[in-house]
A and B are shown apart, each in its own frame.
Chain A
Amino acid sequence: MYQYDQYDHQMLAERVAQFRDQTDRYLDNKLSDSEFLPLRLQNGLYIQRLAPMLRIAVPYGLLSSRQLRKLAFIARHYDKGYGHFTTRQNIQFNWPALEDVPDLLAHLAEVEMHAIQTSGNCIRNTTTDQFAGAAVDELEDSRPYCEIIRQWSTFHPEFAYLPRKFKIAVCGTAIDQAATQVHDIGVYLIKGPDKVTGFRILAGGGLGRTPVIGQEVFEFVEKQHLLTALEAILRVYNREGRRDNKYKARIKILVKETGVDAFKAKVMAEWQKIKDGAQTLTEDEIQRCKSFFTDPAYLERSDNPEQLSQQLKQDALFQSWHSRNVHPHKQTGYAIVSVAFKETGVAPGDVTDTQLDYLADLADEYSFGEVRISHRQNVVFADVEQEKLFDLWQQLKRHSLASKNLGLLTDMICCPGGDFCALANAKSIPIAESIQRAFDNFDELTEIGELNINISGCMNACGHHHVGNIGILGVDKKGAEFYQISLGGSSRNEASLGKILGPAFAQDEIPAVIKTLVGVYKTNRIDNESFLATFQRIGMEPFKEKIYANAD
C-alpha cells in the first residue's frame, strides 16, 4: 500500500496542529459555531444526537494490520469499544469527546491515517472496487489512480468550499462493485483508441434526495490528463453549482439544469486552458504510485488443492460459507475472502475493538497484512491461499465473523439512522434487525439467492436505498416514523434506480412486507433468475397487487 514520505508526514502533522489550534479557539469562544462548523467537518467531525461522530478516512478502503490495531486502540480509548464501517469505505466512531479529537488525530497520524475531508462541502475520500489488484476481471489496478486523486484532492485550495460535498469513485474491473455511476464523478479505466489504457469520466451521478445516474463527460482521456480533466469539471461546478438551495447544490442538479451537452462544452472550455499544464501527470509519477501497489510475494500454489476439496466435502457448513464468501483470484492458488459484518442483532457494519485486533492478526497470518473495506460495509481479505481457507474460516468462526450471508438478503447496507444521526427521519438499525430475524433460516436465504436490501434513515441516502434491489427509506409522517419501499435498484454496471412501490409502512409491518415481496418473486421467477431480473421482467404490478390487495 502507499507509504508516506517526508512531505506526506509533514503535511499531516501540520494538519493535526492546525485542527488542535482551531479546536482550542472554538473551546475558547474565539470561533463561532458557524465558523468552526466547516473546519471540523473537513476533519470528519459531526455533532450528533448523543455525542460527536468522527469519520476517519480509509483511502479507497485499504487498511494495514498496523492501522487496524490503531483503530482498535481508538475504539477502546476514545469510544465505547466499537466503530462502524461506512458505505464509503471509511470507519466512524460515535463517542469521542470533542476536546479529545486533536489527540485522536495525532494517534492516527502515527499510522498514516487521518479524517481529512471525510465530511464537509469538499472532495471526499476516493473509493474503488474492494477487489482492486486481485480481481480476475480487472483491466488495471485502480488504486494507484485513487492515490493520485487522493493527493490532488487533499487540501486542494480552490475546492474546499464547494456548493456541496463531492464524491469520486474509480473502477478498473469489468463488474462494477464501486457504485461508480452514482458518484459526483465516476472514473472508469478503459482501453481507448490504439488499445491504450485511459479513462472514461462520468459526472453528475448521485443518490440523496434526487438520485441520478452519472453522464459521460469525457469519452476517453489519456492517463496523463486525469487531473486536469477532473480539475476542469470541479472548476465549472465550483463556479456554477447552485448555492441558494442546499438540496439543489450537488453537481447532478447542475448537469441536469445545464444539460449534459452544454455542461460538457463548459468543461471542455476550462480543460483547454489547463490541459498540458503543470498538473499534467508524468510517467514517473504514475510509475511511482504504481510501485506501492505491486503484487505481494505470492507463493507457487495450484488451484483447487486436494486438501480443500476434501474439506469442502466433509464439512457442509464450510462448504456453504465457501460458496458465498470466497471469490476467484487472479493469482493461481489464491482466493479473495469476504467477511460479512451482518450478524443478526448487531448494527450492519459495526465492529468491536476485539474484532479489529483480530482482523489485524488474521490479515498478518493469511493475507499479507492487509484488508479492505467494501462499500457494502463488509471486510475483504484479498490474498488468501486456497489451502488455508479452511483454517481462516475456523478462525473467523471463533470471533463470530463467519457469517455466510454475504450477498444474500440479510447482508444489508444500513446507515446509522435515527439511533445516532441528527439528520435522520427514522431509525434504520432496528429495521435491519427485524428483517434479519424474520429471515433466520439459512436454507431459505440461499434458496432466495442474491438480493440486496439497502436501508436509509432519511433522504440523504447514506444507506444507498435507491440502488438496493429492495430499498427502504425512513420518512417522517406527522411525527411518526414510516418506511417507503422501492424495488429494482442496482449499483452494478447496468445501474438503475429503484421505483417506489406505494404508500409507506409502519416499522412493525416491514418484515411481513419483505416476506410478501420475496413470495411474489419466488412465485414468478424462472429457473435461477435473481430478484432483480424477475422484477425487471414482470415489473411492479404483481408486487403492488399482492402487497396492497387487502388495503382497500
Chain B
Amino acid sequence: MPTLIKNGSLEHDRWTVLKEATGPEVLRAVPNKRFIVPLKFWKDYGQELSDYQGEIAIWLDSHENVSELGDALQTFPLIALNFPVFSDGRSYTNARELRENLHYSGEIRAIGDVLRDQLFYMSRCGFNAFALRHDQDVELCLQAFTDFSTGYQSSIAEPLPLFKRR
C-alpha cells in the first residue's frame, strides 16, 4: 500500500483503489470497505451500488474531466486524480476545477506517479492528500510543502494573487 500524506502529515490509508473492476459483485464480495473506483465503473454501476454497506469514492484518470461528475460530485467523501506519469499535467487542472469552480471541499487525492518534486504545485492546485509512489522518501516528501513560502498567482492555497497581497 502506498504511503499517504494528508494535510501535511503521514496518515494511515483506509481506502483501497480499484484500478479496474469488472462489475458490482467485486465490491459486494467485500462489504464494509472503502473503495476508490474508476469513473466509468461508477457511471455504469453507481446506481446499483447505492445500497453498498461500505463507502465509495471515485478516481479520474488524467484524460477524464471532473465536469462529468455532475450533481453527484458533492456526495463523494474523496475524489482521487491519477497521474499516469508525473509529467502529465492534466490532473492539476482537474483539481483546480474541483476546488475553484465546483466548490468541492472533500479530500482531493493524488494517485499514481506521485513524486516529491511535484507535491508543492499539486498542493497549490487543491490536492490535500498524496498517495506517494512506493519508492519515495517520506521524510523528503514531507518537506516538499515548504519549497516556496508563497507564489505569484491566485491559487487554492492562497486565493489572492501576490499583487493583491504585496
**Interface of A with B (CB < 8 Å)?**
5, 7, 10-11, 14-15, 18, 22, 30-31, 35, 38-39, 121, 151-152, 154-162, 235, 238-239, 243, 273-274, 277-279, 281-282, 285, 288
Verify B93–A154 contact, CB threshold 8 A.
no
* Residues of B with C-beta under 8 A to A285: 163-164
Verify B150–A7 contact, CB threshold 8 A.
yes
Verify B153–A156 contact, CB threshold 8 A.
yes
Verify A35–B86 contact, CB threshold 8 A.
yes
Q: How far is the CA of A31 from the CA of B118 in the complex (A)?
A: 13
Verify B164–A282 contact, CB threshold 8 A.
yes
Verify B92–A157 contact, CB threshold 8 A.
yes
Q: A152-B161, A157-B120 are in contact. List 9 more A-B contacts (CB 8 A).
A: A15-B148, A18-B148, A156-B153, A157-B92, A157-B122, A160-B92, A235-B93, A243-B90, A273-B101
Verify A154–B163 contact, CB threshold 8 A.
no
**Which residue of B86, B120, B166 contacts A5 across the interface (Cβ within 8 Å)?**
B166
* Residues of A with C-beta under 8 A to B155: 157
**Which residue of A39, A121, A157 contacts B117 across the interface (Cβ within 8 Å)?**
A39
Q: Jot down 25 A-B pairs with beta carbons below 8 A, ordered by A.
A: A7-B162, A10-B150, A14-B149, A18-B148, A22-B117, A39-B117, A151-B162, A152-B152, A155-B151, A155-B153, A156-B152, A157-B92, A157-B121, A157-B151, A157-B153, A157-B155, A158-B125, A159-B89, A160-B92, A273-B100, A273-B101, A274-B101, A278-B154, A278-B160, A285-B163
Verify A161–B115 contact, CB threshold 8 A.
no
- Give the interface SS of chain A, mostly helix, strand, loop or mixed: helix
**Which residue of B88, B120, B124, B150 contacts A161 across the interface (Cβ within 8 Å)?**
B88
Verify A158–B166 contact, CB threshold 8 A.
no
- Chain B, residues 112-150, CB within 8 Å of chain A (1/0): the string is 000101101110110000000000010000000001111
Verify A155–B89 contact, CB threshold 8 A.
no
A1 to chain B, nearest CB (A): 18
Chain A residue at smallest Cβ distance from B115: A35
Q: How far is the CA of A10 from the CA of B117 in the complex (A)?
A: 19
Does B87 sit at the interface, judged by CB under 8 A? yes
* Residues of B with C-beta under 8 A to A18: 147-148
* Residues of B with C-beta under 8 A to A15: 148
Known contacts A243-B88, A278-B161, A279-B154; A10/B101 CB under 8 A: no
Verify A238–B163 contact, CB threshold 8 A.
no
Known contacts A239-B93, A273-B101; A11/B149 CB under 8 A: yes
Verify B149–A288 contact, CB threshold 8 A.
no
Q: How far is the CA of A153 from the CA of B22 in the complex (A)?
A: 43
Chain A residue at smallest Cβ distance from B123: A157
A399 to chain B, nearest CB (A): 39
Does B54 sit at the interface, judged by CB under 8 A? no
Q: How far is the CA of A7 from the CA of B163 in the complex (A)?
A: 10
Known contacts A39-B117, A238-B92; A152/B153 CB under 8 A: yes
